[in-house]
Structure 1
Amino acid sequence: MPRRATPLDSDDGPQARFALALRRLRDEAGFNAKTIDVIAAESHMPRSTLYAALRGARIPTVPVLAALVRAWGGNQAEWLIRRTETEAEIESLRLQAPPPADREQSAPEEKQRTERRSMTRRGREVARDILRDHGDLSLAEIREPRPEDLMVKSWTDENILAHLRSNRRYDDPSYWDVLRRLAGAPTIRSIAWHSSVTQAQAARILKGAGKDPHQVASVFNYLIVQAALKRRLPEGVALTSES
Protein backbone atom coordinates (compact mmCIF):
# COMPACT_ATOMS: atom_id res chain seq x y z
CA MET A 1 0.00 0.00 0.00
CA PRO A 2 1.48 3.41 -0.96
CA ARG A 3 2.50 5.65 1.90
CA ARG A 4 0.33 8.62 2.70
CA ALA A 5 2.08 11.78 1.52
CA THR A 6 3.46 14.00 4.26
CA PRO A 7 1.72 17.41 4.12
CA LEU A 8 4.15 20.05 2.86
CA ASP A 9 3.93 23.76 2.19
CA SER A 10 6.28 25.95 0.21
CA ASP A 11 6.60 28.19 3.27
CA ASP A 12 8.20 25.31 5.16
CA GLY A 13 11.58 26.08 3.63
CA PRO A 14 13.85 25.13 0.75
CA GLN A 15 13.80 21.39 1.53
CA ALA A 16 10.02 21.36 1.43
CA ARG A 17 9.98 23.28 -1.86
CA PHE A 18 12.45 20.82 -3.37
CA ALA A 19 10.31 17.87 -2.27
CA LEU A 20 7.18 19.52 -3.67
CA ALA A 21 8.94 20.00 -7.00
CA LEU A 22 9.83 16.30 -7.06
CA ARG A 23 6.20 15.41 -6.36
CA ARG A 24 5.08 17.60 -9.26
CA LEU A 25 7.57 15.82 -11.53
CA ARG A 26 6.10 12.49 -10.48
CA ASP A 27 2.53 13.70 -11.01
CA GLU A 28 3.37 15.10 -14.45
CA ALA A 29 4.64 11.66 -15.44
CA GLY A 30 1.02 10.53 -15.30
CA PHE A 31 -0.39 7.07 -14.73
CA ASN A 32 2.70 5.45 -16.22
CA ALA A 33 4.96 6.98 -13.60
CA LYS A 34 7.09 4.34 -11.91
CA THR A 35 6.31 3.73 -8.26
CA ILE A 36 8.85 4.03 -5.47
CA ASP A 37 8.87 0.24 -5.14
CA VAL A 38 9.82 -0.17 -8.80
CA ILE A 39 12.48 2.54 -8.61
CA ALA A 40 13.93 0.97 -5.46
CA ALA A 41 14.17 -2.42 -7.16
CA GLU A 42 15.76 -1.02 -10.31
CA SER A 43 18.24 1.25 -8.54
CA HIS A 44 18.95 -1.10 -5.60
CA MET A 45 18.17 1.68 -3.15
CA PRO A 46 16.12 1.48 0.07
CA ARG A 47 12.51 2.56 -0.27
CA SER A 48 12.87 4.64 2.90
CA THR A 49 15.67 6.68 1.29
CA LEU A 50 13.57 7.40 -1.78
CA TYR A 51 10.51 8.31 0.29
CA ALA A 52 12.63 10.66 2.43
CA ALA A 53 13.31 12.75 -0.67
CA LEU A 54 9.56 13.19 -1.23
CA ARG A 55 8.87 13.97 2.43
CA GLY A 56 11.33 16.84 2.50
CA ALA A 57 13.25 15.18 5.32
CA ARG A 58 16.52 15.93 3.56
CA ILE A 59 17.96 16.98 0.22
CA PRO A 60 18.46 13.72 -1.70
CA THR A 61 21.95 12.68 -2.64
CA VAL A 62 22.95 12.89 -6.29
CA PRO A 63 22.40 9.14 -6.95
CA VAL A 64 18.97 9.21 -5.29
CA LEU A 65 17.94 12.32 -7.18
CA ALA A 66 19.19 10.84 -10.46
CA ALA A 67 17.16 7.65 -9.91
CA LEU A 68 13.95 9.58 -9.26
CA VAL A 69 14.38 12.10 -12.07
CA ARG A 70 15.34 9.41 -14.58
CA ALA A 71 12.32 7.29 -13.64
CA TRP A 72 9.91 10.20 -14.01
CA GLY A 73 11.33 11.64 -17.24
CA GLY A 74 13.00 14.76 -15.88
CA ASN A 75 16.14 16.52 -17.07
CA GLN A 76 18.92 15.33 -14.79
CA ALA A 77 21.24 18.28 -15.52
CA GLU A 78 18.52 20.80 -14.60
CA TRP A 79 17.72 18.95 -11.41
CA LEU A 80 21.36 18.85 -10.37
CA ILE A 81 21.50 22.64 -10.80
CA ARG A 82 18.31 23.00 -8.75
CA ARG A 83 19.81 20.78 -6.07
CA THR A 84 22.93 22.96 -5.85
CA GLU A 85 20.81 26.12 -5.60
CA THR A 86 18.69 24.57 -2.83
CA GLU A 87 21.76 23.61 -0.82
CA ALA A 88 23.07 27.17 -1.18
CA GLU A 89 19.74 28.56 0.06
CA ILE A 90 19.80 26.25 3.07
CA GLU A 91 23.34 27.36 3.95
CA SER A 92 22.36 31.02 3.57
CA LEU A 93 19.45 30.58 5.98
CA ARG A 94 21.74 28.83 8.44
CA LEU A 95 24.16 31.75 8.42
CA GLN A 96 21.29 34.20 8.97
CA ALA A 97 20.04 32.31 12.05
CA PRO A 98 20.36 34.04 15.48
CA PRO A 99 23.67 33.60 17.31
CA PRO A 100 23.90 30.55 19.58
CA ALA A 101 23.70 32.75 22.70
CA ASP A 102 20.26 34.06 21.67
CA ARG A 103 18.99 30.60 20.87
CA GLU A 104 20.23 29.19 24.18
CA GLN A 105 18.07 31.64 26.13
CA SER A 106 14.85 30.02 24.90
CA ALA A 107 16.18 26.51 24.29
CA PRO A 108 15.80 25.18 27.87
CA GLU A 109 12.17 26.30 28.16
CA GLU A 110 11.24 24.95 24.74
CA LYS A 111 13.04 21.66 25.49
CA GLN A 112 11.16 21.36 28.78
CA ARG A 113 7.79 22.00 27.09
CA THR A 114 8.60 19.44 24.40
CA GLU A 115 9.60 16.84 26.98
CA ARG A 116 6.44 17.44 29.01
CA ARG A 117 4.23 17.03 25.94
CA SER A 118 6.07 13.86 24.94
CA MET A 119 5.91 12.34 28.43
CA THR A 120 2.22 13.18 28.81
CA ARG A 121 1.36 11.67 25.44
CA ARG A 122 3.42 8.56 26.14
CA GLY A 123 1.98 8.22 29.64
CA ARG A 124 -1.61 8.37 28.37
CA GLU A 125 -0.93 5.83 25.62
CA VAL A 126 0.81 3.35 27.91
CA ALA A 127 -1.80 3.78 30.67
CA ARG A 128 -4.59 3.07 28.19
CA ASP A 129 -2.80 -0.07 26.96
CA ILE A 130 -2.32 -1.40 30.48
CA LEU A 131 -5.92 -0.75 31.43
CA ARG A 132 -7.14 -2.31 28.21
CA ASP A 133 -5.44 -5.50 29.34
CA HIS A 134 -6.73 -5.33 32.90
CA GLY A 135 -10.16 -3.77 32.92
CA ASP A 136 -13.02 -1.72 31.60
CA LEU A 137 -12.01 1.31 29.55
CA SER A 138 -15.44 2.86 30.07
CA LEU A 139 -14.24 4.17 33.44
CA ALA A 140 -13.22 7.67 32.41
CA GLU A 141 -11.51 8.57 35.68
CA ILE A 142 -9.09 5.71 35.21
CA ARG A 143 -8.84 5.83 31.44
CA GLU A 144 -7.87 9.50 31.52
CA PRO A 145 -5.53 10.04 34.51
CA ARG A 146 -4.91 13.52 35.83
CA PRO A 147 -2.18 15.52 34.03
CA GLU A 148 0.15 15.24 37.02
CA ASP A 149 -0.29 11.47 37.04
CA LEU A 150 0.81 11.30 33.42
CA MET A 151 4.13 13.00 34.12
CA VAL A 152 5.98 9.73 34.70
CA LYS A 153 8.67 8.32 32.50
CA SER A 154 7.22 4.82 32.45
CA TRP A 155 3.78 3.49 33.34
CA THR A 156 3.74 0.19 35.16
CA ASP A 157 1.20 -1.84 37.12
CA GLU A 158 2.54 -0.04 40.19
CA ASN A 159 1.54 3.30 38.69
CA ILE A 160 -1.91 1.98 37.80
CA LEU A 161 -2.44 0.67 41.32
CA ALA A 162 -1.37 4.03 42.70
CA HIS A 163 -3.92 5.76 40.49
CA LEU A 164 -6.69 3.41 41.61
CA ARG A 165 -5.75 4.02 45.22
CA SER A 166 -5.64 7.81 44.97
CA ASN A 167 -8.83 8.11 42.86
CA ARG A 168 -11.25 5.82 44.67
CA ARG A 169 -14.69 5.34 43.13
CA TYR A 170 -16.41 3.05 45.59
CA ASP A 171 -19.82 3.65 43.98
CA ASP A 172 -18.66 2.64 40.49
CA PRO A 173 -18.82 -1.09 39.56
CA SER A 174 -16.28 -0.56 36.77
CA TYR A 175 -13.77 0.71 39.32
CA TRP A 176 -14.16 -2.47 41.39
CA ASP A 177 -13.95 -4.56 38.23
CA VAL A 178 -10.56 -3.11 37.28
CA LEU A 179 -9.22 -3.51 40.81
CA ARG A 180 -10.53 -7.07 41.07
CA ARG A 181 -8.90 -8.03 37.75
CA LEU A 182 -5.58 -6.59 38.91
CA ALA A 183 -5.94 -8.70 42.07
CA GLY A 184 -6.21 -11.87 40.00
CA ALA A 185 -10.02 -12.06 39.80
CA PRO A 186 -10.63 -13.70 43.20
CA THR A 187 -14.08 -15.19 43.80
CA ILE A 188 -16.67 -13.31 45.83
CA ARG A 189 -16.45 -16.09 48.42
CA SER A 190 -12.70 -15.59 48.78
CA ILE A 191 -13.06 -11.80 48.94
CA ALA A 192 -15.73 -12.09 51.60
CA TRP A 193 -13.74 -14.56 53.73
CA HIS A 194 -10.53 -12.51 53.69
CA SER A 195 -12.36 -9.20 54.22
CA SER A 196 -14.49 -10.49 57.14
CA VAL A 197 -17.77 -9.66 55.40
CA THR A 198 -20.58 -11.83 54.14
CA GLN A 199 -20.76 -12.91 50.50
CA ALA A 200 -23.89 -10.80 50.06
CA GLN A 201 -22.10 -7.75 51.45
CA ALA A 202 -19.06 -8.38 49.21
CA ALA A 203 -21.31 -8.71 46.16
CA ARG A 204 -23.04 -5.39 46.95
CA ILE A 205 -19.72 -3.64 47.43
CA LEU A 206 -18.42 -4.90 44.07
CA LYS A 207 -21.60 -3.54 42.46
CA GLY A 208 -20.86 -0.09 43.93
CA ALA A 209 -23.71 -0.41 46.44
CA GLY A 210 -21.71 -0.82 49.65
CA LYS A 211 -23.16 1.22 52.52
CA ASP A 212 -20.87 0.43 55.44
CA PRO A 213 -17.58 2.37 55.00
CA HIS A 214 -15.68 -0.10 57.20
CA GLN A 215 -16.79 -3.06 55.10
CA VAL A 216 -15.99 -1.20 51.88
CA ALA A 217 -12.54 -0.29 53.18
CA SER A 218 -11.90 -3.89 54.20
CA VAL A 219 -12.70 -5.22 50.73
CA PHE A 220 -10.71 -2.44 49.09
CA ASN A 221 -7.63 -3.08 51.23
CA TYR A 222 -7.73 -6.81 50.54
CA LEU A 223 -7.91 -6.29 46.77
CA ILE A 224 -5.15 -3.66 46.81
CA VAL A 225 -2.82 -6.03 48.69
CA GLN A 226 -3.66 -8.92 46.35
CA ALA A 227 -3.11 -6.70 43.31
CA ALA A 228 0.32 -5.70 44.61
CA LEU A 229 1.21 -9.34 45.20
CA LYS A 230 -0.02 -10.40 41.77
CA ARG A 231 2.05 -7.69 40.16
CA ARG A 232 5.05 -8.91 42.20
CA LEU A 233 5.82 -5.48 43.59
CA PRO A 234 8.69 -5.34 46.09
CA GLU A 235 7.61 -5.63 49.72
CA GLY A 236 7.06 -2.22 51.27
CA VAL A 237 6.95 -0.37 47.96
CA ALA A 238 4.98 2.87 48.17
CA LEU A 239 1.90 2.82 45.98
CA THR A 240 2.23 6.38 44.72
CA SER A 241 2.06 7.79 41.20
CA GLU A 242 5.42 9.53 41.40
CA SER A 243 8.18 8.24 39.19
Structure 2
Amino acid sequence: MRVTMTTSAAARPGRVNEDFTGAVPTAAVLVDGAGIPGSESLCRHGVAWYATRLGGALLGLLSPVRDRGLPALLAEAIEQVTDAHRDTCDVTDVIAPSAAVAVLRLSGGLVDYAVLGDATVVLDRTDGTPLVVSDPREVVISRSYEAALGATARGSTAHRRILRDLRSHRNQPGGFWVAKDDPRAADEAVTGSCPVSGLSGAALLSNGASGLVDRFGLCDWPEVMTALASGGPDGIIRRVRRAEARQGVAPDDATVAYCTGLDET
Protein backbone atom coordinates (compact mmCIF):
# COMPACT_ATOMS: atom_id res chain seq x y z
CA MET A 1 0.00 0.00 0.00
CA ARG A 2 1.15 3.52 -0.77
CA VAL A 3 -0.08 6.42 1.31
CA THR A 4 0.82 8.67 -1.54
CA MET A 5 -0.58 11.92 -0.17
CA THR A 6 -1.31 13.05 3.34
CA THR A 7 -2.24 16.57 4.24
CA SER A 8 -2.81 17.98 7.69
CA ALA A 9 -3.82 21.60 8.16
CA ALA A 10 -4.27 23.24 11.56
CA ALA A 11 -7.47 25.15 12.14
CA ARG A 12 -5.69 28.51 12.43
CA PRO A 13 -2.13 29.76 11.89
CA GLY A 14 -0.10 29.54 15.08
CA ARG A 15 -2.40 26.93 16.61
CA VAL A 16 -1.16 23.43 17.38
CA ASN A 17 -2.63 20.79 15.09
CA GLU A 18 -4.51 18.24 17.18
CA ASP A 19 -4.81 15.68 14.36
CA PHE A 20 -2.35 12.88 13.67
CA THR A 21 -1.91 10.67 10.64
CA GLY A 22 0.69 8.03 9.87
CA ALA A 23 1.24 4.81 7.97
CA VAL A 24 3.24 1.60 7.85
CA PRO A 25 3.45 -0.58 4.70
CA THR A 26 0.21 -2.42 5.46
CA ALA A 27 -1.82 0.07 7.51
CA ALA A 28 -2.83 3.71 7.90
CA VAL A 29 -4.08 5.54 10.99
CA LEU A 30 -5.79 8.88 11.51
CA VAL A 31 -6.43 10.33 14.98
CA ASP A 32 -8.53 13.47 15.53
CA GLY A 33 -7.81 14.82 19.01
CA ALA A 34 -10.49 16.61 21.05
CA GLY A 35 -10.43 18.84 24.10
CA ILE A 36 -11.88 22.10 25.40
CA PRO A 37 -10.40 25.15 27.09
CA GLY A 38 -9.67 24.38 30.71
CA SER A 39 -8.52 20.83 30.13
CA GLU A 40 -4.90 21.98 30.51
CA SER A 41 -5.40 21.88 34.27
CA LEU A 42 -6.39 18.21 34.00
CA CYS A 43 -3.75 17.01 31.57
CA ARG A 44 -0.40 18.77 31.39
CA HIS A 45 0.39 17.08 28.08
CA GLY A 46 -2.53 18.34 26.00
CA VAL A 47 -4.70 17.11 23.16
CA ALA A 48 -2.00 17.12 20.46
CA TRP A 49 0.21 14.94 22.67
CA TYR A 50 -2.63 12.51 23.25
CA ALA A 51 -3.45 12.22 19.55
CA THR A 52 0.18 11.74 18.55
CA ARG A 53 0.93 9.19 21.27
CA LEU A 54 -2.23 7.23 20.49
CA GLY A 55 -1.52 7.20 16.76
CA GLY A 56 2.08 6.15 17.29
CA ALA A 57 1.12 3.39 19.71
CA LEU A 58 -1.49 2.03 17.31
CA LEU A 59 0.91 2.05 14.36
CA GLY A 60 3.40 0.13 16.46
CA LEU A 61 0.83 -2.58 17.13
CA LEU A 62 -0.50 -2.97 13.59
CA SER A 63 0.75 -5.80 11.41
CA PRO A 64 -0.51 -7.64 8.32
CA VAL A 65 -1.32 -10.67 10.46
CA ARG A 66 -5.03 -10.85 11.22
CA ASP A 67 -4.70 -12.82 14.45
CA ARG A 68 -5.96 -9.79 16.40
CA GLY A 69 -8.87 -7.61 15.40
CA LEU A 70 -8.55 -3.84 15.07
CA PRO A 71 -10.66 -3.14 18.21
CA ALA A 72 -8.26 -5.25 20.30
CA LEU A 73 -5.27 -3.37 18.93
CA LEU A 74 -6.96 -0.01 19.50
CA ALA A 75 -7.85 -1.03 23.07
CA GLU A 76 -4.21 -1.86 23.76
CA ALA A 77 -3.07 1.46 22.31
CA ILE A 78 -5.56 3.36 24.48
CA GLU A 79 -4.35 1.51 27.55
CA GLN A 80 -0.70 2.26 26.72
CA VAL A 81 -1.32 5.99 26.39
CA THR A 82 -3.53 6.13 29.47
CA ASP A 83 -0.84 4.37 31.50
CA ALA A 84 1.71 6.92 30.25
CA HIS A 85 -0.09 9.81 32.00
CA ARG A 86 -2.57 8.45 34.52
CA ASP A 87 -0.15 9.24 37.39
CA THR A 88 0.25 12.89 36.41
CA CYS A 89 -3.13 13.78 34.89
CA ASP A 90 -6.82 13.40 35.66
CA VAL A 91 -7.49 11.06 32.75
CA THR A 92 -11.04 10.19 33.85
CA ASP A 93 -12.47 13.73 33.84
CA VAL A 94 -15.08 14.20 31.10
CA ILE A 95 -13.09 17.01 29.45
CA ALA A 96 -9.70 15.28 29.57
CA PRO A 97 -8.16 14.76 26.10
CA SER A 98 -9.82 12.21 23.84
CA ALA A 99 -9.83 11.37 20.14
CA ALA A 100 -11.71 9.93 17.20
CA VAL A 101 -9.80 7.22 15.34
CA ALA A 102 -9.86 5.74 11.84
CA VAL A 103 -7.76 2.68 10.94
CA LEU A 104 -7.16 0.79 7.71
CA ARG A 105 -5.20 -2.50 7.50
CA LEU A 106 -4.37 -4.82 4.61
CA SER A 107 -4.04 -8.54 5.19
CA GLY A 108 -4.63 -11.69 3.16
CA GLY A 109 -6.38 -9.98 0.28
CA LEU A 110 -8.72 -8.09 2.58
CA VAL A 111 -8.98 -4.54 3.84
CA ASP A 112 -9.95 -4.28 7.51
CA TYR A 113 -11.31 -0.97 8.79
CA ALA A 114 -12.36 0.53 12.10
CA VAL A 115 -13.86 3.90 12.99
CA LEU A 116 -14.35 5.16 16.55
CA GLY A 117 -15.87 8.61 16.94
CA ASP A 118 -16.51 11.15 14.21
CA ALA A 119 -13.73 10.24 11.78
CA THR A 120 -14.50 8.71 8.38
CA VAL A 121 -13.07 5.95 6.19
CA VAL A 122 -14.01 5.91 2.50
CA LEU A 123 -13.24 2.85 0.38
CA ASP A 124 -13.27 3.70 -3.33
CA ARG A 125 -14.86 0.72 -5.05
CA THR A 126 -14.12 0.03 -8.69
CA ASP A 127 -17.84 0.12 -9.53
CA GLY A 128 -17.91 3.84 -8.68
CA THR A 129 -19.90 3.56 -5.44
CA PRO A 130 -17.67 4.37 -2.46
CA LEU A 131 -18.22 2.55 0.81
CA VAL A 132 -18.41 5.24 3.49
CA VAL A 133 -17.73 4.12 7.05
CA SER A 134 -18.61 6.55 9.84
CA ASP A 135 -19.96 6.61 13.38
CA PRO A 136 -22.83 9.12 13.62
CA ARG A 137 -23.51 8.88 17.35
CA GLU A 138 -21.51 11.93 18.41
CA VAL A 139 -22.97 14.06 15.63
CA VAL A 140 -26.52 13.07 16.56
CA ILE A 141 -26.03 13.97 20.23
CA SER A 142 -24.09 17.16 19.46
CA ARG A 143 -26.97 18.54 17.38
CA SER A 144 -29.11 18.89 20.48
CA TYR A 145 -26.47 21.27 21.92
CA GLU A 146 -25.91 23.41 18.83
CA ALA A 147 -28.41 26.14 19.72
CA ALA A 148 -27.10 26.56 23.27
CA LEU A 149 -23.47 26.61 22.12
CA GLY A 150 -24.28 29.13 19.40
CA ALA A 151 -25.88 31.45 21.96
CA THR A 152 -22.75 31.63 24.15
CA ALA A 153 -19.31 33.09 23.49
CA ARG A 154 -16.53 30.60 22.76
CA GLY A 155 -14.28 30.28 25.82
CA SER A 156 -16.85 31.74 28.20
CA THR A 157 -17.84 29.99 31.42
CA ALA A 158 -21.28 29.21 30.01
CA HIS A 159 -19.80 27.80 26.81
CA ARG A 160 -17.42 25.56 28.72
CA ARG A 161 -20.26 24.38 30.96
CA ILE A 162 -22.32 23.33 27.93
CA LEU A 163 -19.35 21.55 26.39
CA ARG A 164 -18.71 19.70 29.63
CA ASP A 165 -22.34 18.54 29.67
CA LEU A 166 -22.07 17.42 26.05
CA ARG A 167 -18.92 15.47 26.81
CA SER A 168 -20.56 13.76 29.75
CA HIS A 169 -22.21 11.54 27.13
CA ARG A 170 -18.83 10.21 26.02
CA ASN A 171 -18.22 6.51 26.54
CA GLN A 172 -21.59 6.01 28.15
CA PRO A 173 -24.44 3.67 27.12
CA GLY A 174 -26.79 5.64 24.90
CA GLY A 175 -24.05 8.20 24.23
CA PHE A 176 -21.11 8.23 21.87
CA TRP A 177 -17.74 6.53 22.01
CA VAL A 178 -14.20 7.83 21.57
CA ALA A 179 -10.66 6.91 22.51
CA LYS A 180 -9.94 8.35 25.96
CA ASP A 181 -8.95 6.51 29.14
CA ASP A 182 -11.10 3.35 28.94
CA PRO A 183 -9.85 0.71 26.46
CA ARG A 184 -13.28 -0.92 26.44
CA ALA A 185 -14.52 1.94 24.26
CA ALA A 186 -12.68 0.30 21.35
CA ASP A 187 -15.29 -2.45 21.34
CA GLU A 188 -17.80 0.18 20.15
CA ALA A 189 -15.86 0.94 16.95
CA VAL A 190 -17.62 0.49 13.61
CA THR A 191 -15.66 -2.30 11.92
CA GLY A 192 -15.67 -4.49 8.84
CA SER A 193 -13.62 -5.82 5.95
CA CYS A 194 -13.87 -6.17 2.20
CA PRO A 195 -11.78 -7.69 -0.61
CA VAL A 196 -8.91 -5.60 -1.89
CA SER A 197 -9.70 -6.71 -5.43
CA GLY A 198 -12.77 -4.50 -5.57
CA LEU A 199 -11.03 -1.30 -4.44
CA SER A 200 -9.10 1.38 -6.31
CA GLY A 201 -8.15 3.43 -3.26
CA ALA A 202 -9.15 4.58 0.20
CA ALA A 203 -9.20 7.72 2.30
CA LEU A 204 -9.19 8.46 6.02
CA LEU A 205 -10.59 11.86 7.00
CA SER A 206 -10.93 13.83 10.21
CA ASN A 207 -14.29 15.52 10.71
CA GLY A 208 -12.71 18.83 9.75
CA ALA A 209 -12.10 17.41 6.27
CA SER A 210 -15.22 15.27 5.86
CA GLY A 211 -17.30 18.39 6.53
CA LEU A 212 -17.10 19.21 2.83
CA VAL A 213 -19.71 16.46 2.37
CA ASP A 214 -21.43 15.84 5.69
CA ARG A 215 -21.52 19.39 7.06
CA PHE A 216 -21.50 21.81 4.13
CA GLY A 217 -23.01 19.50 1.52
CA LEU A 218 -20.85 20.91 -1.26
CA CYS A 219 -20.19 17.57 -2.96
CA ASP A 220 -20.71 13.85 -2.59
CA TRP A 221 -18.26 11.08 -1.79
CA PRO A 222 -17.70 9.94 -5.40
CA GLU A 223 -16.64 13.52 -6.20
CA VAL A 224 -14.28 13.58 -3.21
CA MET A 225 -12.61 10.35 -4.25
CA THR A 226 -12.27 11.54 -7.85
CA ALA A 227 -10.67 14.77 -6.59
CA LEU A 228 -8.26 12.84 -4.39
CA ALA A 229 -7.26 10.56 -7.26
CA SER A 230 -6.60 13.48 -9.59
CA GLY A 231 -5.20 16.16 -7.32
CA GLY A 232 -4.66 14.86 -3.81
CA PRO A 233 -5.92 16.13 -0.46
CA ASP A 234 -4.80 19.75 -0.79
CA GLY A 235 -7.78 20.71 -2.95
CA ILE A 236 -10.22 19.13 -0.50
CA ILE A 237 -8.71 21.06 2.41
CA ARG A 238 -8.83 24.34 0.47
CA ARG A 239 -12.51 23.83 -0.33
CA VAL A 240 -13.26 23.16 3.35
CA ARG A 241 -11.48 26.37 4.38
CA ARG A 242 -13.43 28.42 1.82
CA ALA A 243 -16.72 26.90 3.02
CA GLU A 244 -15.88 27.71 6.65
CA ALA A 245 -15.05 31.31 5.71
CA ARG A 246 -18.22 31.80 3.65
CA GLN A 247 -20.49 30.44 6.36
CA GLY A 248 -18.71 32.07 9.29
CA VAL A 249 -17.91 28.71 10.85
CA ALA A 250 -14.93 28.41 13.21
CA PRO A 251 -12.24 26.43 11.34
CA ASP A 252 -11.31 22.96 12.49
CA ASP A 253 -8.15 20.91 12.03
CA ALA A 254 -8.54 19.08 8.71
CA THR A 255 -6.59 15.94 7.80
CA VAL A 256 -6.80 13.48 4.90
CA ALA A 257 -4.75 10.34 4.29
CA TYR A 258 -5.18 9.02 0.76
CA CYS A 259 -4.13 5.44 0.09
CA THR A 260 -3.49 3.74 -3.25
CA GLY A 261 -1.82 0.55 -4.40
CA LEU A 262 -3.90 -1.48 -1.98
CA ASP A 263 -3.16 -4.69 -3.88
CA GLU A 264 0.60 -4.20 -3.95
CA THR A 265 1.53 -5.49 -0.48
Common fold by TM > 0.5:
no
Q: Max radius of gyration: which structure?
A: 1
TM-score of the superposed pair, with normalisation by structure 1: 0.23
TM-score of the superposed pair, with normalisation by structure 2: 0.22
* Larger relative contact order (Cα-Cα within 8 Å, sequence gap ≥ 6): 2
Kindly indicate which of the two structures has a greater share of residues assigned to helix.
1
Kindly indicate which of the two structures has a greater share of residues assigned to strand.
2
